[in-house]
Each structure stands twice: as C-alpha cells, then as structure tokens.
C-alpha cells in the first residue's frame, strides 16, 4: 500500500476562489483583507468566499450581527469571515449576478 505524505488537503477542505475556482494555498486559516487570488486577482476575503454568504438571507448573510456589505465580491473588514470549503464558480449563486445587474441598471443609469 502506498501512502502519500506531505501537505495534502482533501477535496472537501479546499478553499477556492469564488471567481475562477483556483485553490488558495496558505499557512494562514483565512486570507487577509487585501489578499487576492494568485490566478485571477479577485479579492479573497469577501462575502462570496464566506461560509455565511446566503443570497436568500437578510443582507445576504447568515449572521444576524454582520454589517451590510454592498459589494459581495470586494474585500471587506468582516470579523465573522469564514472561508467556505469548495465554493468555486460552479457553486456561485446566479441570483447574485442578476441582482447586481439590476442594481447597476437602476442606479448607474440615473
């Protein structure tokens, strides 16, 4: 029997960029507020990478104590951030994109 040694994360433990799906590799538990994906450059410490993100919850967050964050894909100062396991582009909620487009149409064209 061959045993693999070294640092290996199971598929369930992977921390993936919400935008491109690239794995985040670090010795830290969470990315810093300004840390970006090495592959696509998008912010990692953002709502769309958080376990608490829920497009159907108030403020799109499962935590009742979190302050409102308007841009869910931008870095933020949330102390409750908990990097979601295995949330790449395939798991991103399509409703977020529709909501964002509607918001832009309503307020950017004014």
Domain regions of the chain by residue span: 10-110
When mean pLDDT is compared across 27-31, 82-86, 92-96, the lowest value belongs to 92-96
Phi-psi region of 104 (alpha: psi -120 to 50; beta: other; left: phi over 0): alpha
pLDDT at 91 over 70: no
Rounded CA-CA distance 57/7 in Å is: 36
> Which pLDDT score, from 0 to 100, does residue 85 have?
83
Residue 6's pLDDT band (cuts 50, 70, 90):
very low
Q: What is the mean pLDDT of residues 13-41?
A: 91
CB 52 within 8 A of CB 69: no
Residue 102's pLDDT band (cuts 50, 70, 90):
confident
Rounded CA-CA distance 56/69 in Å is: 15
């Amino acid at each position: 029997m061959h045993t693999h040694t070294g640092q290996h994360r199971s598929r369930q433990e992977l921390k993936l960029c919400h935008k491109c799906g690239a794995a985040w590799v670090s010795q830290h538990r969470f990315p810093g507020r300004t840390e970006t994906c090495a592959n696509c450059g998008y912010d990692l410490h953002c709502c769309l990478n958080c376990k608490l993100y829920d497009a159907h919850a108030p403020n799109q967050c499962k935590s009742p104590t979190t302050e409102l964050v308007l841009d869910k894909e931008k870095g933020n100062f949330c102390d409750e951030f908990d990097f979601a396991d295995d949330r790449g582009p395939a798991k991103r909620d399509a409703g977020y994109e529709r909501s964002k487009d509607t918001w832009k149409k309503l307020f950017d064209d004014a």
